[in-house]
Amino acid sequence: MPDSYYVTTPIYYVTDAPHIGHAYTTVTADAVARWHRMAGEDVRFLTGTDEHGLKVQRSAEEHGVTPQEWAERTSRRYEEAWELLDISNDDFIRTTEPRHHTAVTKILEACRANGDIELRRYEGLYCVSCEGYYTESELVEGNCPIHHRPVEHMEEENYFFLLSRYEDRLLEWYETHPEFVRPRSRRNEALGFIRGGLQDFSISRTSITWGVPIPWDPSHVTYVWFDALTNYLTGAGYGSDDEEFAHWWPAVHLLGKDILRFHCVYWPAMLMSAGIEPPRNAYVHGFLLVGGEKMSKTTLNQIAPADLVADFGVDGFRYHFLRNQPFGPDGDFSYEGMVARYNADLANNLGNLLSRVSTVVARKCGGVGPAPDPGSELGVLTAEVFDRAANAWADVQPSAALEATWSLIGAANAMLEKAEPWKMEPGPEVDRVLGDALEVLRIVGLLAAPAIPSSAAEIWRRIGLGSDPSAAGLEAAGWGGYPGGLEVEKGKPLFPRIGGRGNRS
C-alpha cells in the first residue's frame, strides 16, 4: 500500500476574486501534490471556497443578491482560475455543501461532549474583514492591524471554545513534533503565540444567519473560522466515510502567514478536543507584495492570474511563482522581474537546450536521437540534483527544487558549448555528446513536470518518448533511461522570448 499524502490549500473567501496571491498557494500545493504522485504516493489534493460569515452576507447585500447566489458566482471564478492554471485538485470543497454541514455538526458535538464549549456573554472590537475580535492594545491607530480599517463594537452571547485549556498540550505537541510547523521561523512565531498565553475564543454568532447552525442551539450560527477550518476534515471524509478519513488524515496544510494563528494554534487544539490527531504539517508562506504592498481590493493592486497567463502561458506563470518566490518569506512581484526570469530560465536555458539539441540531432544524426553514455559525468551530477530536488519538494521548497533542476540544464548547456557538436563530423563523439544532452532533457522533463506539466510532456514528445513524464513517475529518473534510436522533432521554440510588455516574439 503506498503512503498517503493529503495536501490542502486554505479555502478562499468568496468576497474576493482570485488574484496571484491566491494562485501562489494553489500552484505550490499543486506542484507538491504532483511531485508526491510522481513518487508513487497515494495523493489527495483539496482546495475550495469559504462561503459563510458576515463578510459574504454583506457583499451579497451590496450586490443585491442572496448570499447563496453570491457564493455560487465567486466560487465558480476560483474553479475557473484553477482550471486555467492546470491545477490537479482531486476535490473542490464549498462550505455551503451538505457534507460540510455534517462535518461541522459532528466536530462541534465532539468538542462539546469533551466539555470544551461554554456559553458566555461577549463584548469586543470586531474586524469584519478578519472575522475576528481584537483587544484595544492590538489595534494600530484604532484600526485593525491587518486591514487598517476601523473595527466595530460588538456585543453578543457566544459559545466559546476553551482554548486556554490546551496551552500545555499544544506546547507538548510542538515539542514532540518539531516538523509540525515549517519553515522554522514560522514555528517560532506560532510557539510565541502559545507561550504568550491563550484566550478562549468565541465560536458562534447570533448577529448573523449565514452559516451552519449550532446543533444544540440553532439561534446561533458557527463562527466562520471554526466552520472554515473544518473543511479539511470534510474533504477527507469526516462525517461521511470513516474508512476514507482514516486513510487520508492527518493532512499537510499550506497557508499564508496571516492565518498562522488559526491553523497552528486554534486548529490543533480543536482537533485534540474532538479526539482527532493534529495535522501532519503546516507549511506557512509569506506574502507576495506588489510595489512593496500586500494586494488588496482597496489599493486596487490585485493582479488576476489570467492577465499574466496571456503573456507568459500557463507554465510560464506556474514556473515564475514557484521559482521566484521562496516559500516562507515575503517577496516582491514585478512584471519586469517576471519577464527577466522567463527569458533567462525558460526561453534561454531550457528552451535553448531543447532547440539546440534537436537542431544538431537533425543535422548530424539524421533526426534520430542517440543513447547516452552510461559513465557520463552528467550522470553523477543528475543523481546529486535528484537528491537535492527530492529533499526540497519534500520540505515544500519548490524554488530550491527548481534551482537544483535548472543547474542540471545549465551543466548540459555548458557541456554542449565546450564540445561544440555542431562543428563535429557525424560519428560516435557527436552521438555521445547528444545522447547525454537528450538524457538530461528526459530527466529534466521528469523533475520539472510538477512545475511545468504540459511543457515537460512536450519535451518528452519532441525527443521521441511515447509517454508523459507525470505518468512515468520518478522511478524513471535514473541516468541511462533514454533508449536512443528515437525520432527527435525540431519544433517551434517551447518558450518564445518576451520582448517588451506582452510581446512574445
Residues that bind ligand MSP (CB under 6 A): 10-13, 16, 21-22, 24-25, 50, 228-229, 231, 255-256, 258-259, 287-288, 294-295
**Distances, alpha carbon 464 to alpha carbons 67, 357, 368, 372, 475, in Å:** 52, 13, 9, 14, 19
Task: Based on the residue annotation, tell me whether 106 is a catalytic residue of this protein.
Answer: no
Q: How far is the CB of 272 from ligand MSP (least distance, A)?
A: 17
Q: Show Cβ contacts of residue 340 under 8 Å, excluding neighbours closer than 6 positions.
A: none
Q: Closest by alpha carbon to 481, among 493, 492, 469?
A: 469
Per residue in 199-234, is it b (16+ CB within 10 Å) or e — as a string? ebbbbbbeebebbbbbeeeeebbbbbbbbbbbbbbb
- 238/479 with CB nearer ligand MSP: 238
Task: Based on the residue annotation, tell me whether 147 is a catalytic residue of this protein.
Answer: yes
Phi, psi of 159 (to 5 degrees): -80, 140
261-265 LR contacts (CB < 8 Å, sep 24+): 261/190, 261/193, 262/225, 262/229, 263/229, 264/180, 264/181, 264/186, 264/190, 264/193, 265/163, 265/170, 265/190, 265/193, 265/194, 265/198
Beta bridge partners of 369: 486
Q: Which amino acid does the sequence have at 242?
A: D
- 20/457 with CB nearer ligand MSP: 20
Residue of 36, 52, 106, 130 marked active site: 130
Distance of alpha carbon 46 from alpha carbon 495, whole angstroms = 30
- 281/470 with CB nearer ligand MSP: 281
Q: How far is the CB of 311 from ligand MSP (least distance, A)?
A: 20
Q: Parallel, antiparallel, or unpaired: how do β-strands 213-214 and 132-134 relate? A: unpaired
Residue of 177, 247, 257, 294 marked active site: 294
Distance of alpha carbon 110 from alpha carbon 49, whole angstroms = 24
Q: Show Cβ contacts of residue 369 under 8 Å, excluding neighbours closer than 6 positions.
A: 361, 434, 435, 438, 463, 464, 482, 484, 485, 486, 487, 488
Task: Based on the residue annotation, tell me whether 418 is a catalytic residue of this protein.
Answer: no
Q: Which residue is nearest to ligand MSP (CB)?
A: 256
Task: Based on the residue annotation, tell me whether 36 is a catalytic residue of this protein.
Answer: no
Are the CB atoms for 156 and 205 separated by under 8 Å? yes
Distance of alpha carbon 178 from alpha carbon 183, whole angstroms = 10
- 138/175 with CB nearer ligand MSP: 138
Residue of 147, 177, 247, 490 marked active site: 147
Q: How far is the CB of 203 from ligand MSP (least distance, A)?
A: 14
Are the CB atoms for 312 and 303 separated by under 8 Å? no
- 186/462 with CB nearer ligand MSP: 186
Distance of alpha carbon 356 from alpha carbon 70, whole angstroms = 52
At 123, list the grid cell: 463584548
Burial of 304 (0-12, 13-18, 19+ CB in 10 A): middle
Residue of 127, 220, 253, 263 marked active site: 127
Q: Show Cβ contacts of residue 112 under 8 Å, excluding neighbours closer than 6 positions.
A: 216
Distance of alpha carbon 338 from alpha carbon 344, whole angstroms = 10
Residues with catalytic function = 19, 22, 127, 130, 144, 147, 294, 297
